[in-house]
Amino acid sequence: MIYFDNAASSPLREEVKAILREELELFANPSSLHEAGFAAEKRMKAARENVAKALNAKAEEIVFTSGGTEADNLAVLSAAKKMRRRGNRILTSDAEHPAVSECMKQLSEEGFEIVTLSTRGGRIDPSEAARLTDEKTALCAVMHTNNETGAVFDIPAVCRAVKEKNPHCLTFSDGVQGFFHRPLCPERLGLDLFSISSHKVHGPKGVGALWVKKGLQLSPRLLGGGQERGLRNGTENLSGIVGFGEACRVGASAMQEDIARMEEIRSYLLKELAPFSRVIPNLPAEASCHVLSLQVEGFRSEVLLHSLSARGIFVSSGSACSSHKGKSPVLKNFGLSDRESDRTVRLSFSGLNTVAEAAEFVKVLKEIAKL
Amino acid sequence: MTEKRSILLKYGELILKGDNKSYFDAQLLRQIRKKLKPLGEFRVFTSQSTVFVESEDDGALEAALPVLQRVFGIVSLSIAWRVEKNMDAILEAVEKKIAPQLVGARSFKADARRSDKKFPLKSPEIAREVGARVLSTLGGRAPKVDVHHPQETCWVEIREDFAYVHAKKLPGAGGMPYGTGGRCLLMLSGGIDSPVAGWRMAKRGAFVDALHFESFPYTSERAKEKVMDLARKLCAYTETMNFASIRMTDIQLRMQEVCREELFTILLRRSMMRLACRVARRQACGAIVTGESLGQVASQTMAALATTDAVADLPVFRPLIGMDKEEIVATSRAIDCFETSILPFEDCCTVFTPRHPKLNPTMEEVLEEEAKLPMAELEDEAFRAIEFVRIDK
């Protein structure tokens, strides 16, 4: 199996599997006062520190959630609610994941004015962000790295532009695809809120986190027993959190090597496929090391995907989440025609992939597409 | 009063069978026993055109009802109270169990049947007393009596060992016992129509095997899994099903290279029909079944159907031919297939769909186009790669 669909979900690291096996035997509630509960709390604390370290952040700034979607919802909806009295304008991009864009739809129905930045060519113009920000702008929500094209947006410049025009405006970025694909520190990016997910970085599914800048008070979406400093109530998914922590611990020390590996694979593919005029990469202004979006002329993406799948190579057409919902607007907003979107496949890598796998992919693609 | 209940199953047109009736009876009982087996211990027997299902376990009897409603060959079911053969016991059951069921009905009558002629009262006399008891029990809440067209009938049946009292009738699946009508091969797609066609044939007593055509990689494995899910849904009515699939991709790609686009669908249908007949013969099926309905799409015009029929060497049954989409959808919902049928799957077989299909193809032009390809050879190849799965519920 050659797995080039890591942006959809990634395999567990061996270290993560090992710690999850230990977790199977442990079950106490971290809120319980007895010894077993205290031990659970300590494991959670260690995990929180590991996640915080991976973001160059403080442990108390990490709020564990059920995943990227919940972290996105919590950030956008709670920030909008908090800022409502200051203004009802929200700045966002036209390439957001549905976990953010669907929140925008709901907020728009509730009376917020949603202003959208173009991501044509995989680029956001910070001066446009400045132009569209005014004293009524309550929140700026622009993703860090796009899941379909791998475009990395210039978050520091966008945040600077927005905060210069309106220092009260909160800034949030969906960092699910950016996390561990370059060194990140949300505070230095100029952010107030930043979401991440465990299963995109070799951790278990069902857990993610929202980084909330120290001092920022938000209200919860789920009410209950006061867990996660009252911002995310409900008994913690402890085994998931511990697995996530381990993925962050190992991931942080492997990050440089992993990024180098992904960059190597990506540039290898670009070089090897360059001679074939029927293979057209969709290249954003600045690309993440882990995504390569390609058009293959003469193939609808699902057809190519099924043919590759039959040969044990797993890639994606568009983003996995959008396969439930028909066409995603992201490729169109990137600047592709319907026809070009229809024949776009996405390869996404992790540090566990190898150049040899990329070579095998090229060989199989040549056979299937008769390049 | 001892609260023993039985389920009484009434036959439909099986009653009309002459010398073969015992064969149909036996098939029906076999079906019933088979379907009830996983639910517990039951006593199943027939007596005078009624099947009795009894169990010591009331819960099992309750669970048996919906299962029996899906057995073909039964027109109606009712839950009867089984009581001692004396009028006191009968009337007590009527008062406590039957009368409350009649509250809210517009009209009712009481009726009685007596296979034990030694019972002291005659049928009309029993009916009269039962009717009177319903009226006195319900008082002002009693439905009015209508002996000609009652909405509900309160029945008393005096049999050898017990008397049975019942009122509310539940609808059965109707049709003929499964397996009494021979074996057929259903061309099953992932759409709404073909599962309904298969169900209709099963209802008429035919064993149904399925054949699916796929176009991987233009169709997905998930799409095929969906078709198998539909086959599983049908197995709630049938038993197990032989599910075969044949990959048509190479044939379609070759057609695309050399044949006229407007005839793609017709040529493909003919190829599928030839392959279906080969599969049917191998599995001893006596007919092909399709979900076609006249005029629904371009390949279902009379002329188009004629060109596909021309290659079939077995009868081709199209139980939906005269049905509207609305009617088909209603059946699809009733047999619990609809929600599965409408599941979307990224399906790329539209690549092969002509933009303007020919509505009235002539045999000459079809033959001319077909001659451009080594059909026999291509079909041999497709047939050799056939895959089989056995499907059950």
Instruction: Say what angle helices A355-369 and A238-273 make with each other, to 10 degrees.
Output: 60
Same domain, A198 and A337: no
Q: What angle do CA B62, B65, B67 make, to 5 degrees?
A: 120
Model confidence over A306-331: pLDDT tens digits? 999 999 999 998 644 445 556 789 99
Cβ–Cβ pairs < 8 A, chains A and B: 24
Residue B291 per-residue DSSP state: -
Q: Which of A225, A250, A275 is the last residue before a domain boundary? A: A250
Same domain, A222 and A302: no
- How many angstroms away from the CA of B344 is the closest CA of chain A? 9
Residue ranges of chain B whose CB lies within 8 Å of a chain A CB:
216-218, 220-221, 346, 348, 351
Q: Which of A235, A250, A265 is the last residue before a domain boundary? A: A250
Structural domains of chain A, count: 2
Give the whole-angstrom CA distance, residue A62 versus residue A187: 13
Same domain, B153 and B193: no
Q: B217 and A306 in contact by Cβ < 8 A? A: yes
Q: Which of B122, B152, B174 is the last residue before a domain boundary? A: B174
Please report, for the domain that includes residue A348, its CATH number. Answer: 3.90.1150.10
Q: Are A175 and A197 in contact (CB under 8 A)?
A: no
Structural domains of chain B, count: 2
Q: Are strands B287-289 and B183-187 parallel, antiparallel or unpaired?
A: parallel
A225 has pLDDT over 50: yes
Q: B217 and A307 in contact by Cβ < 8 A? A: yes
Q: A306 and B220 in contact by Cβ < 8 A? A: yes
Model confidence over B118-169: pLDDT tens digits? 999 999 999 999 999 999 999 989 999 999 999 999 999 998 889 999 988 8
Please report, for the domain that includes residue A207, its CATH number. Answer: 3.40.640.10
ipTM of the shown complex: 0.71
Same domain, A246 and A332: no
pTM of the model: 0.81
Residue B169 per-residue DSSP state: P
Give the whole-angstrom CA distance, residue A213 versus residue A220: 15
- Chain A residue with CA closest to B343: the answer is A324
Same domain, B237 and B260: yes
- Chain A residue with CA closest to B351: the answer is A300
Chain mean pLDDT for chain A: 95
Expressed as residue numbers, the domain containing B268 is: 183-391
What is the reported pLDDT for A367? 95
For residue B102, give the H/E element and its range: helix B99-102
Tabulate helix, strand, coil % of chain B (nearest 5). Answer: 45, 20, 35
Same domain, A132 and A277: no
Interchain CB contact of A171 with B (< 8 Å)? no
Nearest to B346 among A302, A307, A309 (CB): A302
Known catalytic residues of A? 321
Q: B348 and A310 in contact by Cβ < 8 A? A: no
Model confidence over B295-318: pLDDT tens digits? 888 889 999 999 999 999 999 999
Model confidence over B224-252: pLDDT tens digits? 999 999 999 999 888 889 999 999 999 99
Same domain, A74 and A99: yes
Q: B346 and A307 in contact by Cβ < 8 A? A: no
Q: Which of A250, A266, A298 is the last residue before a domain boundary? A: A250
Helix (H, G, I), strand (E, B), or coil: what is residue A80?
helix
- How many angstroms away from the CA of B191 is the closest CA of chain A? 19
- How many angstroms away from the CA of B193 is the closest CA of chain A? 24
Same domain, B69 and B93: yes
Same domain, A363 and A305: yes
A318 φ/ψ sector (left φ>0, alpha ψ -120 to 50, else beta): left
Model confidence over A333-366: pLDDT tens digits? 999 998 899 899 999 999 999 999 999 999 999 9
Please report, for the domain that includes residue B366, its CATH number. Answer: 3.40.50.620
Residues contacting residue A120 through CB under 8 Å, at least 6 positions apart? A333, A334, A335
Same domain, A130 and A196: yes
Expressed as residue numbers, the domain containing A308 is: 2-9+255-369
Chain B residues in contact with A344 by the CB 8 A cut-off are none
Confidence at B335, pLDDT banded by 50, 70, 90: very high
Residue with tokens 């047939």: B383
